[in-house]
Amino acid sequence: MRSTHQEPRSSSSCAACKFLKRRCTPNCQFAPYFRSDEPKKFAKVHKVFGASNVSKILNEVAEEQREDTVNSLVYEAEVRLQDPVYGCIGAIASLQHRMVELQHDLLLARARLACSAAAAAASAAAVGFVVFGSFCSDAGDWRRRRWRRCGGGV
Amino acid sequence: MMTGAKGMASSSSTYNPPCAACKFLRRKCTAGCIFSGYFPPEEPQKFANVHKIFGASNVAKLLNDLLPHQRDDAVQSLAYEAEARVRDPVYGCVGAISFLQRQVDRLQKELDAANADLIRLAAASSPSVHMPPPPPHQRPAEFGRRFGNDGGGGGRFYQTPGYQITYNASPWADIYNPHGGGFDGNI
């Protein structure tokens, strides 16, 4: 009599098991992260890291961190395939370079801002002085005219 | 001088110790070993990390696909990434990319704000003078969309990188530049 005990099959294999041509079990470690409709995702990770190494890395991290782990491995694999010599290091170097450029530009812009603000403040103070001086002069003229009308001497 | 029946074999004038890879893999380090020269025996941890993360077979395939003058840089970058992944199994060196991208975004916003203030001051002091807008900022095409500005650790990595990072010199000068910050984000 044929044994009826068989390991249940999952309804569809995950991308990893399809790639590795093996049966995808319900507790497949890769299934939650490599869906069957994303075959290239696992192919890239497999090419750069290998299935065994990915499995070991996933076993090292807590379950709630595995999705982020897989996503970062996929990203790293994609970058390495695009740039086999430098991989992510090229991206890091580029970002560091850009950061230094921005820090320099920001320093310059703030220095210019400080100068412009100081110049604007000095200009406003000078205008105020001229206006006040003009007012004093007018006031003096008015007093002199009034003095003369009252019979005062020159 | 006594010699054996087979004669005394002349010893080679130079002795090449096995490379760190062959020592780790416990195999004979031959003259054509692909790892020899890139994994010196005095740096055993370097190959240990690379082997743990990438695997010897994958590294050998990658090096074989490169030109000889590119292999040293490739090994250095693999060693760097492997060490980063050993230190941070969840994000590896992608954590550093995410951190740097957030710094770049923050600096860009501050620069835009400073330039806007400069334009306002110039307009206020000389209303008749039309100030040209500041030049559009340049940013790596894919990083902003990929990592977002939510400031969250790690971000999301769902999009395929379509950028082309161009750099004239080896990136190692920037990586080790103390003013550019190190891997762990210390600026």
pLDDT tens profile B105-133: 999 999 999 999 999 888 887 766 555 55
Alpha-carbon gap: B101 to the closest alpha carbon of chain A (Å) = 7
Considering only CB atoms, B97 lies closest to which of A85, A91, A119, namely A91
pLDDT of residue A140: 64
pLDDT of residue B124: 81
The reply to whether residue A76 touches residue B154, judged by beta carbons under 8 angstroms, is no
Residue A52's pLDDT is 95
Q: In Å, how far is A106's CA from the nearest CA of chain B?
A: 5
Asked if B74 and B63 count as a contact pair (C-beta separation under 8 A), the reply is: yes
Instruction: Establish if A123 touches chain B: CB-CB under 8 angstroms.
Output: yes
Contact present, A99 and B104 (Cβ < 8 Å):
yes
What tens digit of pLDDT does each residue of A46-77 get?
Answer: 999 999 999 999 999 999 999 999 999 999 99
Chain A interface disruption, residue of B38, B87, B88, B100, most A CBs within 10 A: B100
The whole-angstrom separation of Cα B59 and Cα B50 is: 8
Angle between helices B94-125 and A66-82 (to 10 degrees): 80
Q: Residue A112 and residue B118: Cβ atoms within 8 Å?
A: yes
- The residue among B2, B37, B6 whose CA lies nearest residue B22 is B37
| Mean pLDDT across B34-54 | 94
Element containing residue A78 per DSSP (H, E): helix A66-82
**Model confidence over A77-95: pLDDT tens digits?**
999 999 999 999 999 999 9
Mean pLDDT value of segment B36-61: 94
More confident residue, B148 or A104: A104
- Compute φ and ψ for A10, nearest 5 degrees: -75, 155
Q: How far is A135 from chain B (nearest CA, A)?
A: 24
Asked whether the predicted pLDDT for residue B14 surpasses 90, the reply is no
B183, pLDDT greater than 80: no
- Among partner residues B77, B139, B181, which is closest to A87 by beta-carbon distance? B77
Residue of A74, A82, A109 lying closest to B118 (CB–CB): A109
Nearest-Cα distance to chain B for A154, in Å, is: 44
- Global pTM reads 0.68
Put simply, the answer to whether A61 touches B181 (Cβ < 8 Å) is no
Of the residues A67, A94, A101, A113, the best mutation for testing chain B's interface (the one with the most B CB atoms within 10 Å of its CB) is A94
How far, in Å, CA of B40 to CA of B25, rounded? 14
Per-residue pLDDT band for A154 (boundaries 50, 70, 90) equals very low
Q: How many CA atoms lie within 13 A of A31 on its CB side?
A: 13
pLDDT tier, A118 (very low <50, low <70, confident <90, very high otherwise): confident
Range B159-168 average pLDDT = 39
Structure tokens at A19: 């790639």
| Contact check, Cβ <8 Å, B181/A53 | no
For chain B, the DSSP string reads ----TT-PPPPPS---PPPHHHHHHT----TT-SSTTTS-TT-HHHHHHHHHHT-HHHHHHHHHTS-HHHHHHHHHHHHHHHHHHHH-TTTTTHHHHHHHHHHHHHHHHHHHHHHHHHHHHHHHH-TTS-PPPPPPP---TTHHHHH-SS--SS----SPP------SS-THHHHT-GGG--TT---
Do A36 and A13 touch, CB atoms closer than 8 A?
yes
Q: What is the band of B176 on the pLDDT scale with cuts at 50, 70, 90? A: very low
Number of Cβ atoms within 10 Å of the Cβ of B165 = 21
Is A114's Cβ below 8 Å from some Cβ in B?
A: no
